[in-house]
């Protein structure tokens, strides 16, 4: 990978994202640089674990029919992933300028994607609007570092809780409509009974996290 020309295009929370070439293809290099606030042993463990998960789950998600970048190469030890470059805009940057119909449509797509993952026993673990890219050929999902194989209702509810938190925290103006669209589409994939269970668990998680000073 050394010697290949790359250009930093984004500094994320966990990683530097560089644009470069891989076997002649325009590619993204996602490099989880050491985070020096963390103890080195801990940091190394977290970065390699997340890199390995991301590489594996990018392919798994694609296999079950969710649009993700193609994985080109992974260097677990060095915590670098090389993947397809998807031209598009983050949903985060697009969300505020959308019409109500646009919000319904695109967040419906989000609901379908998350439902598809869940019904295949995959939890994304980090479904925020910065991890969804709108491309010319539809919505794509990235950033699978926190993904795991799980069928647990609790885990699926945690996924939906994060979506809810991101929407109410960062996109309050469209949050209600977006959530309704997500749940409606999610329901179509996983079924009404499952949605009910997941929603109940979601409320339970929220209740747990509420102010709990008395101990």
Ligand X SMILES: Nc1ncnc2c1ncn2[C@@H]1O[C@H](COP(=O)(O)OP(=O)(O)OP(=O)(O)O)[C@@H](O)[C@H]1O
Would you say 27 or 201 has its CB closer to ligand X?
A: 27
83 binds, among ligand X, Mg ion, another protein, none (CB under 5 to 8 A by kind): ligand X
User: Integer distance in angstroms from the first to the last C-alpha of the chain?
Assistant: 52
Out of 44, 126, 176, 180, the active site residue is 126
Nearer to Mg ion, 143 or 155 (CB): 143
Q: Which is nearer to another protein, 22 or 95 (CB)?
A: 95
CB of 3 to another protein, least distance (A): 25
Residues 6+ apart with CB under 8 A from 175: 164, 167, 168
What six digits make up the tokens of 131? Answer: 């991890």
Q: DSSP labels for 111-154?
A: HHHHHHHHHTTEE-S---TTSEEEETTEEEE---TT-EE---HH
Q: Does 131 bind Mg ion (CB under 5 A)?
A: yes
Nearest one of 152, 147, 110 to 126, comparing CA atoms: 147
The one of ligand X, another protein, Mg ion, none whose footprint includes residue 212, by CB under 5 to 8 A per kind, is another protein
Shortest-Cβ-distance residue relative to ligand X: 12
Query: How far is it, in rounded angstroms, from Cα 104 to Cα 182?
Result: 8
Q: Which does 205 bind (CB under 5 to 8 A by kind): another protein, Mg ion, ligand X, none?
A: another protein
Close Cβ partners of 36 (under 8 Å, ≥ 6 residues apart): 43
- Of 67-75, 112-120, 143-151, 206-214, the segment contacting Mg ion by CB under 5 A is 143-151
**Residue 143 in contact with Mg ion, rule: CB under 5 A:** yes
Annotation marks residue 43 as catalytic: no
70-109 residues in contact with ligand X (CB under 6 A) are 83-86, 90
Least Å distance between CB 198 and ligand X?
A: 24
Token pair in block for residue 144:
């699978």
Crossing angle for the helix pair 192-209 and 153-170, to the nearest 10 degrees: 70
What is the rounded distance in angstroms from the CA atom of residue 176 to the CA atom of residue 182? 10
Shortest Å distance, C-beta 189 to ligand X: 24
- The 8-class DSSP code of residue 169 comes to H
| Residues near another protein, by CB under 8 A | 11-14, 35-39, 41-43, 45-46, 92, 125-128, 130, 146, 158-159, 161-162, 165-166, 168-170, 172-173, 205, 208-215
Active-site residue list = 126
């Amino acid at each position: 990978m050394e010697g290949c020309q790359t250009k930093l295009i984004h500094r994320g929370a966990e990683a530097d994202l560089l644009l470069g070439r891989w076997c002649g293809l325009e590619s993204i290099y996602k490099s989880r640089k050491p985070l020096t606030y963390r103890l080195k042993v801990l940091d190394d463990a977290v970065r390699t674990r997340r890199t390995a998960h991301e590489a594996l789950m990018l392919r798994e998600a694609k296999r079950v029919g969710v649009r993700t970048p193609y994985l080109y190469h992974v260097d677990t030890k060095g915590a670098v992933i090389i993947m397809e470059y998807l031209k598009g805009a983050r949903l985060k940057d697009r969300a505020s300028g959308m019409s109500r119909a646009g919000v319904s449509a695109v967040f419906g797509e989000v609901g379908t994607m998350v439902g598809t993952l869940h019904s295949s026993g995959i939890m994304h673990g980090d479904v925020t609007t910065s991890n969804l890219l709108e491309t010319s050929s539809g919505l794509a999902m990235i950033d699978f570092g926190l993904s795991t194989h799980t069928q647990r209702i609790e885990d699926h509810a945690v996924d939906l809780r994060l979506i809810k938190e991101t929407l109410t925290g960062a996109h309050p103006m469209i949050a209600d409509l977006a959530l309704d669209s997500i749940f409606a589409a999610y329901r179509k994939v996983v079924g009404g009974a499952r949605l009910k269970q997941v929603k109940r668990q979601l409320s339970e998680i929220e209740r747990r996290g509420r102010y709990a000073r008395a101990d």
